[in-house]
C-alpha cells in the first residue's frame, strides 16, 4: 500500500538554513544535488523514523516535528509517499529533479539512501531481549516504581511545583515532552506531555555521543584497549594522525581538519561543512570521519566535531566484528540489556554504521537508566560495566577545553556556566534540548526530552534543575 500526502501551504524564507551537506565526490551520483534535494533526504529520514520507530501518525509528525521548525527546511511544496509494504518514505519537490528515499530496517531504524541506491547495503539484525515479563520487576530493571513515602529530606510541595512548571510548555515555550527525575536510584517524579506514551523513544540527537563513549568504556573494561593508546585507525598509521589517542577522540581534541560551519549561514549547505554532511547526504559516515588530515597536534585544540565520536564508533565496529560478534547487537548485549534499557533504537547509514552523533532514539526512563549507570560509577547491581575511574575521566574537563565545559563525550558545568546547577554535574546533550543531567553531589539524574525551539532553553534547564536540587534539600548539593 502506498500513501501520498502533500503538505499545506507554508512559507519558508529560511529554507536554506538547515542541517544539510553535500555528497562525497564520486561515491554516489549526487554531486549536482541542490539544497532542496538534501532537505528532502533529511526530512524523509525524520518522517520514516517518526512512523516506524516512534509509531506516530505521519501528518501529526510532519506538523509537530518537521514543518514546525525552520532549520529542517520543510518546503511548502514537499510531497511525501509512504510505502507501507517496503517500509520506506519518498519525498519529492518540483524544485528538485530527484526525489529522496529513507528506508526502515527493523531494529536499525531508518537510513537515508544515496541517490540511485534501492536498499541498504547490510543485513539488519534483531537486537535486545524480550522485556514484557521483566517489565513487572521493580525499577530500574523493570517498570514498577518503588512503594512508600518519599525521603523526608525532600520538600514534596517544592518538587511537585518544579515538575508541574517544567511540563507546562505554555509558560516557557520549550516543548518538553518527557522528563524523569531519579534521586538515590528511585524515580521521584516524571511527567509526559499530552498524548506522549511513557515508553516512546524520542529522537535524542547528540546524546548518542555519550553512548559511543560508554561502548568504548565497555571495551576498555574488557581489555581491548586503553585510553592513552593511539587510536587503531589503519588510514592514520603512517602520518601525524598516528599520534591521536582514544582519549583525544573522547575529548573532542583530535586536531583533525574537519569543518563545522554551523547552521544558518552561506556555508551550511557546502560540501565543506563536514560536520553536518552525515545527516543528509547518504554517505558512509565512518569512511567520511577518518578521511581528513591533521590540522594541529592532538590534545592542543578543543572543537565540537562529529569526526571524533564517529571514529570511535568505527573502532567499536572493527573491534566487535574482529571478535566474530554481531556489531548491531553489541550495544544491547554489552550495555543496554544489562541495565534494563528497553526502548532504544540506534540508527545507521546505508552501510550499517551507527550514526550515534544524532540518529538515536530512547525513552526518558531509558535515558534515566543510562544516567544512573554513570551516577553509580559504572557499576550496576554489583557488576562493574564501565572501568574503574571511567566516570571520573568522562566528567573531568578536557585539557584543551578552555571553558571547562566538556569532558569525554559529556558536557560539564565545571566552569560554572549554569549558576543553579551544581558544578559536579555532567550530561549527554543533544540538539534541540535533549539532556540527561547527572549530579553526583545531589545523587540525582534528571532527563528532559522534546524538540525545543531553542529560545531561552539554557535558562529553562538552569531553572528547572535548580528547582529540583533545592527541593531535595541535600546538604552542600549546590556547589
Residues 197 and 104 in one domain: no
pLDDT above 70 for 148? yes
Q: How far apart are CA 92 and CA 70, in angstroms?
A: 18
Arithmetic mean of pLDDT over the chain:
90
The answer as to whether 320 is a domain residue is no
Residue 270 has a pLDDT of 63
Residue 80 and residue 131 in one domain:
no
Structural domain of 181: 125-208+326-479
Indicate the pLDDT class of residue 11, thresholds 50, 70 and 90.
Answer: very low
Q: What is the mean pLDDT of residues 315-319?
A: 98
Cα Rg of the chain, angstroms: 22
What's the grid cell of residue 11? Answer: 512559507
* Residue 21 vs residue 337, higher pLDDT: 337
Q: Is residue 350 part of a domain?
A: yes
- Considering the domain boundaries, does residue 244 fall inside one? no
Instruction: Please tell me whether residues 174 and 38 are part of one structural domain.
Output: no
- 165 and 40 within one domain: no
Q: Could you give phi then psi for residue 35, rounded to 5 degrees?
A: -55, -35
Q: Is residue 138 part of a domain?
A: yes
Q: How confident is the model at residue 179 (pLDDT cuts 50, 70, 90)?
A: very high
CATH number reported for the structural domain that contains residue 372 in this entry: 3.40.710.10
Is the CA virtual torsion 448, 154, 134, 195 positive or negative? negative
Tell whether 477 and 349 lie within a shared domain.
yes
| % the chain with pLDDT above 90 | 80
Q: Are residues 72 and 19 in the same domain?
A: yes
> pLDDT tens, 207-256?
999 999 999 999 999 999 999 999 999 999 999 999 999 999 999 999 99
In the predicted structure, residue 422 carries a pLDDT above the cut 90: yes
pLDDT tier at 151 (50, 70, 90 boundaries)? confident
Positions of E strands within 314-443: 345-346, 360-362, 379-380, 383-384, 411-412, 426-427, 429-430, 434-439
Higher pLDDT, 72 or 466: 466
**C-alpha cell at position 271:** 560540501
Strand partners, 345: 361
pLDDT tier for residue 474 given thresholds of 50, 70 and 90? low
For the cut 80, the answer to whether the pLDDT of residue 8 exceeds it is no
241 in a domain, yes or no?
A: no
- Same domain? For 378 and 470 the reply is yes
Cα 443 to Cα 436: distance, rounded to the nearest angstrom: 13
State how beta strands 110-112 and 434-439 pair.
Answer: unpaired
Q: Look at residue 178 and give its three-state secondary structure.
A: strand
pLDDT band of residue 351 (cuts 50, 70, 90) is: very high
What is the spatial distance between Cα 42 and Cα 276, in angstroms, rounded to a whole number? 11
If one counts every other C-beta atom within 10 angstroms of the C-beta of residue 212, the result is: 26
Q: The C-alpha cell of 315 is what?
A: 573502532
Q: What integer is the mean pLDDT of 22-35?
A: 57
Contact in structure between 464 and 445 (CB atoms under 8 Å)? no
Assess if residue 302 is contained within a domain. Answer: no
Q: Is residue 300 part of a domain?
A: no
Q: Is the pLDDT of residue 9 over 60?
A: no
User: Based on the domain organization, do 358 and 476 belong to the same domain?
Assistant: yes
Residue 10 confidence (pLDDT): 20
Phi, psi at residue 416, to the nearest 5°? Answer: 75, 25
Whole-structure pTM value:
0.93
Let me know: does 109 contact 55? Beta carbons within 8 Å: no
Tell whether 332 and 193 lie within a shared domain: yes
Domain boundary among 112, 139, 161: 112
Q: What digits encode the pLDDT tens for the residues 73-121?
A: 899 999 999 999 999 999 999 999 999 999 999 999 999 999 889 999 9
Q: According to the model, what pLDDT value does residue 462 have?
A: 98
Q: Domain boundary residue among 84, 112, 140?
A: 112
Domain stops at, among 112, 146, 180: 112
Within a domain: 433: yes
| 43 and 96 assigned to the same domain | yes
Residues 67 and 164 occupy one common structural domain:
no
Q: Considering its fold, how many domains does the chain have in total?
A: 2
Complete edge-to-edge strand list for the sheet that includes strand 360-362: 202-203, 360-362, 345-346
Query: Based on the domain organization, do 155 and 106 belong to the same domain?
Result: no
Amino acid at each position: 500500500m502506498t500513501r501520498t500526502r502533500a503538505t499545506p501551504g507554508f512559507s519558508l524564507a529560511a529554507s536554506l538554513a538547515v542541517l544539510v551537506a553535500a555528497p562525497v565526490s564520486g561515491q554516489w551520483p549526487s554531486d549536482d544535488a541542490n539544497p532542496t534535494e538534501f532537505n528532502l533526504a533529511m526530512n524523509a529520514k525524520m518522517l520514516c523514523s517518526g512512523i516506524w520507530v516512534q509509531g506516530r501518525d505521519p501528518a501529526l509528525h510532519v506538523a509537530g516535528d518537521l514543518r514546525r521548525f525552520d532549520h529542517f527546511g520543510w518546503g511548502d511544496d514537499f510531497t511525501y509517499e509512504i510505502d507501507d509494504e517496503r517500509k520506506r518514505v519518498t519525498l519529492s519537490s518540483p524544485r528538485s529533479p530527484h526525489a529522496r528515499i529513507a528506508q526502515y530496517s527493523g531494529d536499525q531504524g531508518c537510513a537515508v539512501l544515496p541517490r540511485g541506491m534501492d536498499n541498504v547495503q547490510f543485513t539488519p539484525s534483531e537486537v535486545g531481549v524480550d522485556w514484557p515479563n521483566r517489565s513487572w520487576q521493580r525499577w530500574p530493571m523493570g517498570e514498577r516504581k518503588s512503594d512508600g513515602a518519599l525521603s523526608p529530606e525532600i520538600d514534596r510541595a517544592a518538587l511537585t511545583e518544579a515538575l508541574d512548571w517544567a511540563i507546562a510548555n505554555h509558560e516557557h515555550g520549550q516543548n518538553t515532552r518527557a522528563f524523569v527525575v531519579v534521586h538515590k536510584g528511585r524515580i521521584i517524579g516524571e511527567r509526559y506531555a499530552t498524548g506522549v506514551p511513557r515508553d516512546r523513544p524520542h529522537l535524542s540527537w547528540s546524546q548518542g555521543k555519550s553512548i559511543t563513549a560508554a561502548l568504548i568504556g565497555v571495551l576498555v573494561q574488557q581489555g581491548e584497549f586503553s585510553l592513552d593508546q593511539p587510536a587503531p585507525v589503519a588510514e592514520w598509521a603512517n602520518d601525524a594522525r598516528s599520534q591521536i589517542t582514544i582519549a583525544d577522540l573522547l575529548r573532542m581534541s583530535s586536531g583533525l581538519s574537519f569543518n563545522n560551519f554551523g547552521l544558518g549561514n552561506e556555508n551550511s549547505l557546502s560540501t565543506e561543512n563536514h560536520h553536518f554532511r552525515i545527516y543528509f547526504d547518504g554517505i558512509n559516515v565512518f569512511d567520511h570521519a577518518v578521511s581528513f588530515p591533521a590540522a594541529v597536534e592532538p590534545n592542543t585544540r578543543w572543537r565540537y566535531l562529529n569526526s571524533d565520536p564517529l571514529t570511535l564508533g568505527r573502532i567499536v565496529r572493527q573491534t566487535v566484528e574482529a571478535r566474530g560478534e554481531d556489531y548491531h547487537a553489541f550495544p544491547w548485549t554489552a550495555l543496554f540489556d544489562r541495565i534494563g534499557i528497553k526502548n532504544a533504537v540506534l540508527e545507521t547509514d546505508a552501510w550499517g554504521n551507527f550514526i550515534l552523533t544524532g540518529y538515536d532514539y530512547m525513552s526518558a526512563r531509558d535515558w534515566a537508566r543510562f544516567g544512573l549507570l554513570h551516577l553509580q560509577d559504572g557499576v550496576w547491581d554489583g557488576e562493574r560495566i564501565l572501568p574503574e575511574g571511567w566516570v571520573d575521566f568522562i566528567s573531568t574537563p578536557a585539557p584543551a577545553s578552555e571553558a571547562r565545559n566538556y569532558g569525554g563525550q559529556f558536557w560539564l558545568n565545571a566552569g560554572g556556566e549554569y549558576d543553579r546547577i551544581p558544578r559536579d554535574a555532567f550530561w549527554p546533550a543533544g540538539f534541540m534540548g535533549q539532556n540527561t543531567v547527572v549530579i553526583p553531589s545531589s545523587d540525582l539524574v534528571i532527563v528532559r526530552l522534546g524538540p525545543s525551539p531553542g529560545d531561552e532553553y539554557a535558562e529553562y534547564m538552569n531553572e528547572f534543575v535548580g528547582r529540583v536540587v533545592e527541593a531535595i534539600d541535600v546538604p552542600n548539593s549546590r556547589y
